[in-house]
Structure 1
Amino acid sequence: MQHDRERLHLEFERLRENSARRSKDRGFELAARWNRDETEIEYLYRQGQLICDERDLDVVLAAFEELRLDRPEVLEGPVGLVILHVSETDAAEVADKLAESLGDERIVAPNHVLDAQSHAVMCPATEPLAAYGPIPELGEPIGPGDARVAVIDTGFLPDLAKESGFERFSAVRTYEVDDDVYAPGTDRIQPYGGHGTAATARLLAVSGSRSVSVEVRDCLIGGAVDELAIVADLERVVRAGVDVVSVQAGLYARPGNTPKAFDMFYRRVLSRHPQTVVVAAAGNHGTDVPFWPAAYSWTTAVGSLTRGGDARTSWSNFGYWVDAYVSGESALVPFPNGTYTYVDKTSAAFTNGHAVWSGTSFATPVVAGLIARRMVERDVDARVARHIVLQEAAIGALPETGPRLIL
C-alpha cells in the first residue's frame, strides 16, 4: 500500500511537471483533489480556472459578490461556456464555496484535466518497452464505403511514420505535429511522446487505409489536457463532418457530477450531428467508477483485454458503462528513438523505432478502426457500423467481463 501511494505521488508530480512545461504557451498549473490519506486522487483540475454556462454568468457573478470574492476575469470558451479566471486562490475550493452559495454544485465547475490512457499517469498499466515490428494488421477491407476519422491525442510524427515503414500512415491526410516528444536539445523522450502516432497506427491496422482518411489532433500534450481544450477540438472535428472520433484520454469528475464541458459539448454540438460516433478509453485504474467521457451513453467506451483476449486486464476499468473490450495489452506500435526514463527513474534506449505499450489507449483506436472498417465493407454510416460492431462484441462476450472483440 505504501509503495502504491509513493508511486501515485511520483506519477502525479511527473504529470504536473509535464503540464507546466507544455509548448506553444499552453502550459498550466495542474492540481489534484486527494482523498483524506492521499492514497487516491478524486479528480484532477486546472488551477486558476472555473467554467459555467454563459446563461448562468450573471447569477454566478452575483454569488462572487455575495461571498466577497474577487470578481473573476471572464473569457469566452467553447460550446457556450465562459471561463472564470480565479488566480490567487484554489479553484476547487472556490467552486465548493460557490456551490454552497448557489445551492447547486452543477452551475460552476472546475476545469477538469484528462490524462492519456496508455501507461497512464495514476494507473498501473505498463510504460513503453523497446521492441521491433512489423505491426500486425488486418487485410484491407473490401467494399464501396468510406470513412473519415479523427484521432484526438498528442498529434502526429511524420518522420516516425516514415521510418516505421507502416504504409497505412498514408491515410493521415491532415495532422498537427507532436512537438513535445523530446526534452529540448536532447534525445530524452518525454512521457507520452509519440502517443498519438502509436494510437493512429493501431486504428489504421484495423481500418485499412485505402478508403479511410484520418485527421490527428494534438491537444493532449505531455499526457494531459484540460476539458475545455479537448472539447474545443471535438467541436471542431464534429462540425467538420467526421464519422468516427477516437479519444485516448479521460477523467474522473467531482463525486456525483459529470464534467460540465462535455455535458455542453453533447447538448450544443454532438446531439446535432447524430451520425458521428465518439469512441473513448475506459481508463486504466482497475475500477468501475465512471470515467468520462467514456461513461456517457453517447460514447462507445472501450476496456482492455489481455493480449490473447481471454480475460480483462487487471488494470482496465470495467462496469455497466463499458461497451466493449478488446486487447490493449503489449500492443506493438511505432515509437521514437532515444532514451526513455521510467517513473522509477530507470531508463532504456530505444533504437528500433517501435515499442510494446499497454493501456485502454491502445484498445480504443482498435474499436474506432473496426467501426470505420464496417463502414467501408457495408457502405453504411457510422451509427449503423457501430451497431454492427457492438453486436459482434455481444456474440463474443466473456463471462463476468462483458462484450468482447477478438481480431
Structure 2
Amino acid sequence: MTRYRHRAGELLVHAEDCAAIRAELAGFGYHPAGGAGVLRRFTGTRPVPEVLAALRGHGASPNHLFGLDRIIWGDLRPRPTGLDLTPVPAAERIAVRAGVIDTGIVLRDGKPHDFLGNRVCYDPEDTVRVVRGEDGNPVGSAGHGTFVAGVVLKQAGPDVGVRMKGVIDEQRGEAEDLAVANAIDDLREEGVTLINLSFSGQTFEDQPPKAIEAALRRLSPDTVVVASAGNRGMRQRVFPAGIKLAPTVPGQVDDKHALVLPVGSADASRTPRVADFSNFGPWIAAYADGVDVVGPYFHPGYPAQPPDEKPRFNGYAVWSGTSFSAAIVTGRIAAVMATGKSARDAAGEVLTAADPLTVFDVNGSSEVPRVQES
C-alpha cells in the first residue's frame, strides 16, 4: 500500500527520457498514450509502484492524484451557520482576476451562487454536477470550489474577480497531476498572475509532481501561486505547496521563477496558534485564519436537515481547513493588486503587514506571518 495516490496504470515520462526508457517500459507492458509539451503519458496494466521500483524511479513518475484532505469525509466538514454575507456586484471594470483551480462552480437555475454573482468567470467545463446521495444531499466535494471562490472574493472589493478552472472530481475530490498542469497553462495563457491551489497530496519519494512543477516553471516570474499546506497535522511537506522552483538562499529573492506560497491554518479562537489540523514546519511561508471560515455553500434549505436541527443551512456555511486559509491569502493579495501592484509586490506587502505568529517546532520557536481576514 503506497502513501501517495496515483492514477492506476499511468506513468508520466519526460520527453527527453522517452527514447532511453521506452524499451524498458514496453517490457512492463507500458506504451505511449498521448501527451503534449515536455511530458508523455504511458499506460499499462502492471502496478505503478512495481514498475517504478524496477526502474529505480529513473525517468518516470506516477500521474499523482491530489485531493481535499479530510474536509469532505473526515472531521472537517462544512456546517450550517446563522451568518451570511452580502453579495457585492462586480465593478464596471474588473482590475484583477485570481485564478482558482478547484472543483468548479455550482450552478442553480444556470447561475452561480448569489455571493459570486457576476464576479466569477468560467467555461461550461468549469461547472459542477452535484452528486446526491439517497437522502438527496450532496455527496463529495461539489461545493468546495464555490466556497473557495467566495472566500477569495470576501477579501477584496468589486474590482476583483475569480477565474475558475474546474479540475477536481466533484465526487471523489481528487485531481490528477496532468489536469492541474493543463489548468495552470490555461491561466498563464489568459494572463492570470495570481493562482490559488486549495488541494494537496504526498508523492513518490517526496519528489515534486512532474507535470505541475513543469507548468509552474512556465509561469512568468511575477506570478504568485498560493497553495494550501494540507490538513494532516504533520510536519512533512506536501505538494503542490511544497514545490520549490529554486534553492532557497537567505536574504535573496528569486526573480527568475514564479513565487509559490505554502499556507497553513491559524486558529484565532484563543491565543492565535497553528490550528490542530494544519500541516506545519519550516516549509510553510504563512498562516491564515482557517477555523470556521464563512463562505457561500449551495442554497437556502440545502443540504436538507432534520426539522429540529438549528441553525439551518441558509446558503452559507462555516468550514475549516487550509483550503480556506490559502483562499484568504489569495484574496488579500488580489485586493492589493487591484491598486496597480504586481502579484509578487502585492504578496510581499500582504506578508510584510501581517502580524507574526509564533510557531514552536523541534528546533525551537520562529515567527511566521499570520494573515487575517479583511
Using the size of structure 1 for normalisation, the TM-score is 0.76
Quote the residue 1:50 is aligned against. Answer: 11
Could you tell me whether the CA contact under 8 Å between 1:161 and 1:197 is conserved in 2? no
Q: Deviations over 1:134-185 (max 9, x none)?
A: 2389x99x9x99212111101012329968542x532113344543322389
Q: Deviations over 1:41-79 (max 9, x none)?
A: x211110100010111111112235xx322x23123254
* Alpha-carbon spacing, 1:289–1:232, altered in 2? closer, same or farther (3 Å): same
Q: What letter matches 1:355 in structure 2?
A: A
**Alignment partner of 1:241 out of 191, 200, 203:** 191
**Alignment partner of 1:329 out of 279, 291, 296:** 291
Quote the residue 1:74 is aligned against. Answer: 32
Quote the residue 1:197 is aligned against. Answer: 146
Q: Work out whether 1:148 is the aligned partner of 2:121.
A: no
C-alpha distance in structure 1 between counterparts of 2:127 and 2:316, whole Å: 17
* Alpha-carbon spacing, 1:300–1:243, altered in 2? closer, same or farther (3 Å): same
Q: Work out whether 1:274 is the aligned partner of 2:234.
A: no
Quote the residue 1:381 is aligned against. Answer: 342
Q: What letter matches 1:402 in structure 2?
A: V
Alignment of 1:132-143 (within 5 A): 132-135=82-85
Q: CA deviation at 1:258?
A: 1.9
C-alpha distance in structure 2 between counterparts of 1:353 and 1:160, whole Å: 15
C-alpha distance in structure 1 between counterparts of 2:316 and 2:184, whole Å: 29
Q: Work out whether 1:293 is the aligned partner of 2:240.
A: yes
Q: What letter matches 1:380 in structure 2?
A: K
Quote the residue 2:320 is aligned against. Answer: 358
* Alpha-carbon spacing, 1:212–1:161, altered in 2? closer, same or farther (3 Å): farther
Q: What letter matches 1:207 in structure 2?
A: A
Q: Deviations over 1:288-336 (max 9, x none)?
A: 1111111123411110011447111011011111111011111122222
Quote the residue 2:214 is aligned against. Answer: 264
Q: What letter matches 1:172 in structure 2?
A: V
C-alpha distance in structure 2 between counterparts of 1:51 and 1:349, whole Å: 48
C-alpha distance in structure 2 between counterparts of 1:251 and 1:173, whole Å: 27
Q: Work out whether 1:130 is the aligned partner of 2:80.
A: yes
* Alpha-carbon spacing, 1:242–1:149, altered in 2? closer, same or farther (3 Å): same
Q: CA deviation at 1:111?
A: 0.8
Quote the residue 2:41 is aligned against. Answer: 83
C-alpha distance in structure 2 between counterparts of 1:165 and 1:307, whole Å: 28
Could you tell me whether the CA contact under 8 Å between 1:46 and 1:113 is conserved in 2? yes
User: Which ranges of structure 2 fall in alignment gaps of 5 or more residues?
Assistant: 245-258, 361-366
* Alpha-carbon spacing, 1:227–1:205, altered in 2? closer, same or farther (3 Å): same
* Alpha-carbon spacing, 1:405–1:98, altered in 2? closer, same or farther (3 Å): same
Identity %: 27
Quote the residue 2:131 is aligned against. Answer: 182
Q: CA deviation at 1:125?
A: 4.9
Q: Work out whether 1:405 is the aligned partner of 2:371.
A: yes
Quote the residue 2:248 is aligned against. Answer: none
Q: What letter matches 1:287 in structure 2?
A: M
**Alignment partner of 1:250 out of 200, 205, 213:** 200
* Alpha-carbon spacing, 1:399–1:292, altered in 2? closer, same or farther (3 Å): closer
Quote the residue 2:329 is aligned against. Answer: 367
Q: CA deviation at 1:406?
A: 2.4
**Alignment partner of 2:52 out of 87, 95, 117:** 95
Could you tell me whether the CA contact under 8 Å between 1:160 and 1:334 is conserved in 2? no
Could you tell me whether the CA contact under 8 Å between 2:107 and 2:113 is conserved in 1? no
C-alpha distance in structure 2 between counterparts of 1:84 and 1:371, whole Å: 39
Could you tell me whether the CA contact under 8 Å between 1:45 and 1:111 is conserved in 2? yes
* Alpha-carbon spacing, 1:335–1:174, altered in 2? closer, same or farther (3 Å): same
Cα RMSD, aligned residues only: 3.0
Q: CA deviation at 1:256?
A: 4.0
C-alpha distance in structure 2 between counterparts of 1:215 and 1:95, whole Å: 37
C-alpha distance in structure 1 between counterparts of 2:223 and 2:188, whole Å: 7
Quote the residue 2:252 is aligned against. Answer: none
Q: Work out whether 1:119 is the aligned partner of 2:71.
A: yes
SS at match of 1:43: coil
**Alignment partner of 1:217 out of 165, 170, 173:** 165
Q: What letter matches 2:370 in structure 1?
A: R
Using the size of structure 2 for normalisation, the TM-score is 0.83
* Alpha-carbon spacing, 1:191–1:249, altered in 2? closer, same or farther (3 Å): same
C-alpha distance in structure 1 between counterparts of 2:129 and 2:310, whole Å: 19
Q: Deviations over 1:168-226 (max 9, x none)?
A: 53211334454332238972201212110000000000022x22232111101131011
More deviation, 216-225/253-262:
253-262
**Alignment partner of 1:64 out of 22, 25, 28:** 25
Could you tell me whether the CA contact under 8 Å between 1:249 and 1:280 is conserved in 2? yes
Q: Work out whether 1:314 is the aligned partner of 2:276.
A: yes
